[in-house]
Structure formats: C-alpha cells, structure tokens
C-alpha cells in the first residue's frame, strides 16, 4: 500500500515539472513585455536628465563668470521647464506601473485558481490510469469486434488525445504566465518605488529653483539695464517659437495627425477650428494685459511685437485646451518658459506658454476644455500671466478675434 501511495503523492509535482520544462521556451518573450512598454519613456527621462544636468552646469558657469541676471533667469527657467517635463514623464511612468501592479495583482490569483482546477483534473486522470492501467491504442484497436467498432474507437482515441493535449497546453501556458506575471509584478513594484523617489527629488529641485528665480525677478525690476536684457531674451524666444512653427508646417507627420484629428472631430461631433471664430472658450479667465501686435513699452521707450495675447492670471489656475486636437510640442522657449502647442487640424494651432504641472504628453489627444497644465506661481517681471497664441492660414492670428466675447 505504501509503495502505491508514495508515487501518488509525487504525481502532481512530476506533472508540473514535466509540463513546465516542455513550455520553458514560451516564457522567453512574454517576460519582456513590461520592460518594452517602459523603454521609450525611460529613454526620454534619461535625455531630459542629461539636459537638466547640462543646464545646471551652465547656470554655475554663469555665476562664476558673473553673467547678467537676465541670462541666469533664462537658464533657471529652462532648468525648471525641463524639470517640469521630467516630473510629467515620471508621473506617466508611475501611473503606468501602478496600473500594471493592479492588473497583475488581479490576474495572478485568477490564474493560480485556474491552474489548480486544471491540475486537479489532470491529477485525477493520472491517478486513474496509474491504478487501473490503460491498454495501448494498438491493443484497443485489434480487440475491436467489428470494423465499425474499430472506426469508432479510432475516433474516440483522437478525441481523448486532443482533450488531453489541450489540458496539457493549458497547464503549460498558465505556469508560464504565472511565472512571468510574478516577475513583472516584482519589476513593477521596484520601478514604482524608484519613480516615486525620483519624482520627490525633482519636485524638491523645482521648488528650490522657483525660490531662486523669484528672488532674481525682484532684483531685475529695479535695474533698467538688466530689464532690457531680460526683454531681449523674450525677443530671442520669439525667434525660437517661429522656428518651431516653421518645423510644424513642414512636418512629414502632419497628414497622419490631420487624419487622427478628423476622426476625433467626427467621434466628438465637433466643428472644425475655422468655423469657430469668436466662439472659442478662453484657456483661463482673466484680463488681457498685453494685446496682439505692436506694443509700446513706456518704461523702456521701446516697441516690440506680440504674436499673441497675455492674459493676467492667478497662481495654480487650470489651463484648458480651447478645442480638441493633438499635442505636437512640449518645449522650453526663452523668455516664455514651458510651452505647449496643440494641432487642431486644418492648419490651425494654439500655443500656451508660462505653464507648469503638465497634464498631457506629446502626441496625446486632448478634448475641448481638458486641463493641459496649470499657471505657475510667479514667472514674469510683470506678474503672472498666460501667453496665448493662435496660428492659422500660415500666419499668426489675433486670439481675441477667435475667443468668445
């Protein structure tokens, strides 16, 4: 009795080992899925960190060489913009890993329960064969009393064989899936913790640089010469922004975006941008402190061109997309800080600058009134404001003619 019992005790373990060995090759690709999903985001994070390091080094060099306050502010604004973009990407990674953890914590127990059911069935069949024995297929066939019975037996044996093969495959795949899922769960948990720590570190750096920048901005208001240099930085920024506009107009992916936007408009049942002149809702509520076009600065006695409008704001106010579209660009523009550009199709774009706490990502779709970012704390010598532009018909348009009165 003992001699029979011991093999029965080990039969499940033998089944698992044999099936797992036969299915080992299947596990090689599926275990990489989670890493592949994060690879692109990790590359972008590394690039941003390298750029932040370079910008920080430039700031230190400027301090050592006693460069102008305006230059230091511009560099600090760039570092803050890059840090904001980095935090945004870390938020995406954190959300992704959190979702992955949630799914795996649900899938693993379900798969383990299913595996237990399959193993119980397979174990019962294995025990039955062990106790009773099973004649070979050839013996069954030769012992048939007629050719008709032989045909039936052949068909029966095929069905039984297929069922058994399906059960083996199911157990094999489940073992591989559970192994991979547990590996992915460990990876996701580690990634989530490291991302949270990294985000906290970047947030502390951002807070520190904000304080430094605000102090520099207060000093610059008392120095006419430095103020002139600061405004000159904004003019350089306009050149940067124009270069971005020209790049978008010549973008080879423009046609693909146009198709996506048309599909989006059909799905949301929204009008095209060109049909909404004077009907667009404002990105933030506030007074227009600088209008579109040529502007006279009485303090410096200079004339500058404003390609958009500046809307007076308050700290931490949501900045909203004025219409659905696709985010084409998130970048830093000298004198304007973090800048978001949205393609609305038909050759129309909207531009939002002096923003922080990004809620979107490049190539992501947005709907009308979606929160895309927030206004900062204080990022201008003239106070907090949102700079907003509309590009269309191959030119820069007056936003006040397009926003609802």
- Tell me the whole-structure pTM to 2 decimals: 0.68
Closest CA to 59 of 45, 73, 80: 73
Average pLDDT over residues 340-350: 96
CA distance 400 to 286: 12
Strand pairing class (371-375; 318-320)? antiparallel
CB 289 within 8 A of CB 381: no
Question: pLDDT by residue (tens digit) across 80-116?
Answer: 888 888 888 888 888 888 888 888 888 888 888 888 8
Q: ∠ at Cα 285 (280, 286), nearest 5°?
A: 120
- Neighbour-count burial of 371, counting CB atoms closer than 10 A to its CB (0-12 exposed, 13-18 middle, 19+ buried): middle
Cα separation, 141 vs 136, in Å, equals: 9
Residue 349 pLDDT > 90: yes
The distance from CA 292 to its chain's CA centroid, rounded to whole angstroms, is 34
Lowest mean pLDDT among 113-117, 224-228, 267-271, 281-285: 224-228
Q: Tell me, what's the pLDDT at 99?
A: 86
Task: Confirm or reject CATH 3.30.450.40 for domain 237-405, answering yes or no.
Answer: no
**Percent of the chain scoring above 70 in pLDDT:** 72
DSSP designation for 403: B
Tokens read off for 110: 């379900």
The pLDDT assigned to 105 comes to 87
Looking at the chain, which residues constitute the CATH 2.70.70.10 domain(s)? 237-405
246 pLDDT above the threshold of 70: yes
Sign of the C-alpha dihedral computed for residues 266, 272, 275 and 277 taken in this order = positive
Between residues 351 and 192, the one the model is more confident about: 351
Lowest mean pLDDT among 90-94, 254-258, 354-358, 376-380: 376-380
Window from 121-125, 320-324, 343-347, 374-378 with minimum mean pLDDT = 121-125
Q: Give the mean pLDDT of the chain.
A: 78
Which pLDDT does position 393 carry in this prediction?
Answer: 85
Q: Name the region of 138 (left: φ>0; alpha: ψ -120 to 50; beta: rest).
A: alpha
Strand bridging mode 371-375 / 309-312: unpaired
pLDDT at site 384: 83
How crowded is residue 134: how many other Cβ atoms within 10 Å of its Cβ? Answer: 11
Pair 290, 399: CB distance under 8 Å: no
pLDDT surpasses 90 at 118: no
Q: Is the dihedral of CA 354, 359, 362, 364 positive or negative?
A: negative
What gap in Å lies between CA 366 and CA 249, rounded to an integer? 20
How much is the pLDDT for 238? 86
Comparison of pLDDT for 4 and 73, the residue scoring more? 73
Q: Would the pLDDT of 223 be above 80?
A: no
**Average pLDDT of span 336-363:** 93
Express each pLDDT in 146-160 by its tens digit.
656 555 545 555 555
Helix (H) or strand (E) holding 365, with range, is strand 365-366
Phi first, then psi: give them for residue 269, nearest 5 degrees: 55, 50
């Amino acid at each position: 009795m003992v001699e029979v019992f011991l093999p029965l005790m080990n039969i499940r373990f033998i089944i698992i080992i044999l099936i797992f060995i036969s299915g080992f090759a299947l596990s090689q690709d599926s275990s990489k899925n989670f890493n592949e999903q994060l690879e692109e985001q990790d590359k972008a994070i590394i690039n941003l960190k390298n750029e932040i390091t370079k910008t920080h080094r430039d700031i230190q060099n400027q301090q050592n060489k006693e460069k102008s306050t305006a230059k230091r502010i511009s560099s600090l604004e760039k570092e803050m913009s890059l840090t904001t973009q980095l935090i945004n990407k870390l938020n995406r990674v954190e959300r992704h890993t959190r979702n992955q953890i949630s799914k795996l914590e649900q899938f693993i127990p379900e798969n383990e329960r299913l595996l237990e059911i399959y193993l119980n069935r397979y174990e019962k069949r294995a025990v039955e064969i062990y106790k009773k024995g099973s004649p070979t297929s050839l013996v069954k066939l030769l012992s048939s009393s007629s050719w008709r019975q032989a045909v039936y037996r052949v068909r029966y044996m095929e069905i039984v064989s297929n069922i058994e093969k399906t059960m083996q495959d199911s157990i094999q795949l489940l073992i591989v899936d559970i192994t991979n899922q547990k590996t992915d769960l460990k990876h996701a948990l580690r990634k989530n913790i490291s991302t949270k720590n990294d985000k906290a570190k970047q947030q502390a750096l951002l807070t520190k640089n904000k304080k430094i920048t605000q102090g520099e901005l207060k000093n610059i208001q008392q120095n006419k010469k430095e103020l002139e240099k600061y405004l000159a930085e904004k003019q350089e920024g306009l050149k940067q922004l124009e270069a971005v506009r020209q790049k978008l107009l010549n973008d080879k992916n423009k046609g693909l975006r146009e198709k996506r936007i048309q599909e989006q408009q059909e799905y949301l049942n929204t009008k095209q941008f060109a049909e909404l002149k004077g009907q667009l809702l404002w990105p933030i509520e506030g007074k227009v402190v600088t209008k579109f076009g040529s502007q006279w600065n009485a303090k410096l006695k200079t004339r500058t061109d404003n390609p958009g409008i500046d809307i007076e704001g308050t700290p931490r106010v949501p900045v909203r997309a004025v219409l659905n579209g696709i985010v084409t660009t998130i970048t830093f523009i000298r004198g304007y800080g973090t800048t978001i550009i949205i393609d609305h199709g038909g050759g129309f774009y909207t531009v939002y600058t002096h923003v922080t706490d990004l809620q979107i990502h490049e190539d992501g779709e947005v709907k009308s009134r979606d929160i895309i970012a927030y206004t900062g704390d204080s990022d201008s010598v003239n106070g907090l404001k949102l700079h907003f532009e509309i590009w269309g018909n191959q030119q820069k348009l007056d936003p006040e003619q397009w926003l609802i009165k």
